[in-house]
Amino acid sequence: MHPIKRPLYQESKAVGSAKLDHSGDLLPNPAEYRSIEGALQYLTWTRLDLSYAVNQRATNVLSLQAYSDADWAGCPYDRRSTGGYCIFLGSTLISWSAKKQSSVARSSTKAEYRSLSLTAAELSWIAKLFADIGYKLPSLPVLWCDNISAIALSNNHVFHSRTKHFELDFHYIREQVLNQKLTVKYVCSQDQIADIHTKSLSKQRFLFLSNCLTKCLREIGFEDAFDMFQRMRCESNKKPDEARTVVSTLSACTALKNLELGKQIHDYVKSELKLTTIIGNALLNMYAKCGCLNEGQRIFDEIPSKNVICCTSMVSGSVNCGRLDEAREVFDGSSIKDAVLWTAMINGYVQYNRFDEAVALFQEMQIRRVKGDKFTAVTLPTGCAQSGALEQGKWIHRYIDENGIKIDAVVGTALIEMYAKCGCIDKSLEIFNGLREKDAACWTSIICGLAKNGKASKAVELFSEMIQIGINPDDITLIAVLSACSRGGLVDEGRKFFNSMRKMYEIEPKLEHYACLVDLLGRAGLLDDEEEMIERVPSENNKIMIPLYGALLSACRIPGNVEMGERVAKRLADIESSGSSVHTLFLANTYASADRWEDVTKVRRKMKDLGVRKVPGSSSIEIDGIVHEFIVGDRD
């Protein structure tokens, strides 16, 4: 094997007459490769920005997926395009190809569509092969493409004259889609796996994929790590290497929340090994993420030489357990503070709605000249959104721009949500439209923001656009669009989206989806339809029906439908536990809307006897960058 020293030169091509330069000397000692592997594993727990992705287990579902792409006019000699594909069964690559197309494509869509056609043919052949051997695929094969025009063409039943020059490819893919042999979906260009066969990698992408190697190593090795550790304990003549066995197994325990095995490893370390900083941090991280912070604190105290990684693990663990003051003590006690540690502490304050302290700490971070990163940029707008601090949110947005932090899909989503919750929906739309890559979270955030700001029609329009370009919604996206329909009184659209959840998106409606539809029907005055919908909600636990019946009872006061209100209140009384009287408050409002004041007095007296008190609402206002909150009864 000849290891490469640098990414592939971007002017060279993987296919065609361009020559490839495979440089690098052969490594005679395989141990050097194992050393590199160990170093990559070490990075997965010393780099907190990588740990989340690394600790996700690979799916075991054997679905069939293909990635197709084309390098339009990529050959510098004849300007023919190179098409390529990768086909996966589950997480295993089973087929791939890279071929120069037979003629010059006059548009990128034509090049992409030719590649799609070849990929679809291979995908269909593999699906038929599985059918012949008796294996039923759990879902339709998915063909991923990063060209929006090609995807729109595959979903368009109208044949245009513009596509006659590749009409065979057009009709073939359309037939496959219409006959439900496969489905074509959108994938971001940065996640287009087929590019490895068609284009050279940029240096940035090369480094990103190098980091992803650690993810593959960990996902393959989790279960094996357990067996390895058990064999290690049985064979007394073998001493484990801390970076390859103990630390790897502890990382697996952390990802799988296997506290029992983690304690066994801890006992082994006590009796057989010396507690080093590396092992100590792995133990600390395992206990903290498994919720055993007291044991993690003991490990932290015993670590001989604490570094910033140990302090970050302790701060994150304390935050996750709700011990913010203890987290701050560890933070203040750390002699070295990097951006990750600062962000972990700031995130803790934001997570528990202590936004003033989060901003103060961020300002101190600037005084210490510690440059924030992408994760800092995501944390702070979230806090501004929670507290409605618009001016501080604008200041953080300026900080992001001035420090060259790229506004990608993740950062953009945080800014969209912040501006939307602060009432600046036009600014949210500006950021959304300026994003080069948009994922499902971006679309969900802007749809939800439009709904909350009274722009229901625009929210529905963007949802339809999202579907048209091939981005499938998740359950949260559907909650957002149903909420938009509810706020805008779009009854027909709301029913259509709700009914399409199972049929089109294979999403089982949850309580939140039913609640949105119930609220929509109630606002429209369709109380009989609302009651019928509640009766159709599948539920083994009656208590989850309380908010649905509460919404129906609240809707009864609008038309003054006392008879239905009394009937629903009785059902709520049967469901609610003793001492809980949500129904009494709603029933009092229903009587008041019908001018039945004697009944209102009786209900209010009952509420007083039961000790039921309404939780007071609050209002907030931002003055000179400071958020002031007021509740009923405040005098200062």
Domain membership of residue 392 (yes or no) is no
Model confidence, pTM: 0.53
Residue 173 counted as domain residue: yes
Predicted confidence (pLDDT) at residue 578 exceeds the cutoff of 50: no
The predicted structure's pLDDT at residue 202: 57
Answer whether residue 273 is part of any domain: no
Residue 313 contacts residue 334 (beta carbons within 8 Å): no
Choice between 460 and 259, residue whose per-residue pLDDT is larger: 460
Domain boundary (181, 201, 221) is at: 201
Helices (H) and strands (E) in the chain, counts: 29, 7
Cα Dmax for the chain: 94
Per-residue pLDDT, 605: 66
Of 201, 218, 235, the one marking the end of a domain is 201
What are the tokens at 78? Answer: 């004849």
Q: Is residue 205 pLDDT above 60, yes or no?
A: no
What is the CATH classification number for the domain harbouring 112? 3.30.420.10
Structure tokens at 47: 């780099």
Does any domain span residue 358? no
Asked if residue 135 is part of any domain, the answer here is yes
Positive/negative CA dihedral, 191, 192, 194, 197: negative
Domain boundary among 143, 166, 201: 201
CA-based nearest residue to 229, from 241, 216, 219 = 241
Q: CA–CA separation, 14 vs 30, rounded Å?
A: 28
CA pair distance 593, 590, nearest whole angstrom: 5
Q: Has residue 235 been placed in a domain?
A: no
Where are any strands of DSSP class E within 56-178? 64-71, 82-89, 92-100, 142-145
For residue 18, name the pLDDT band (cuts at 50, 70, 90): very low
Mean pLDDT within 516-524: 82
What value does the mean pLDDT take over residues 170-174? 75
**Count of CA atoms in the C-beta half-sphere (13 A) of 309:** 20
Q: What is the pLDDT of residue 422?
A: 87
At 551-576, the pLDDT tens digits run 666 666 665 566 666 676 666 666 65
What integer pLDDT is reported at residue 458 of this predicted model? 93
Question: pLDDT value at position 48?
Answer: 47
Name the more confident of 238 and 523.
523
The answer to which of 14-18, 72-76, 244-248, 611-615 has the lowest mean pLDDT is 14-18
Supply 258's token pair: 């296997």
Residue 309 is given by DSSP the state H
Task: Count up the domains in the chain and report the number.
Answer: 2
pLDDT score of 607: 58
On the question of pLDDT at 69 being above 70, the answer is yes
Range of the domain at 158: 57-201
Answer whether 573's CB lies under 8 Å from 583's CB: yes
**Nearest alpha-carbon partner for 466 in 452, 485, 445:** 445
Quote the DSSP letter at residue 190: G
- If you compute the radius of gyration of the chain from its CA atoms, what whole number of angstroms results? 29
Q: Is residue 51 part of a domain?
A: no
Could you tell me how many residues make up the chain?
Answer: 636
Give the Cβ contact number of residue 271 at 10 Å.
Answer: 7
In a domain, 153, yes or no: yes
CA gap 12, 575 in Å, rounded? 70
Contacts of 592-601 with CB under 8 Å at 24 or more apart are 592/557, 593/557, 593/558, 593/560, 594/560, 594/562, 596/562
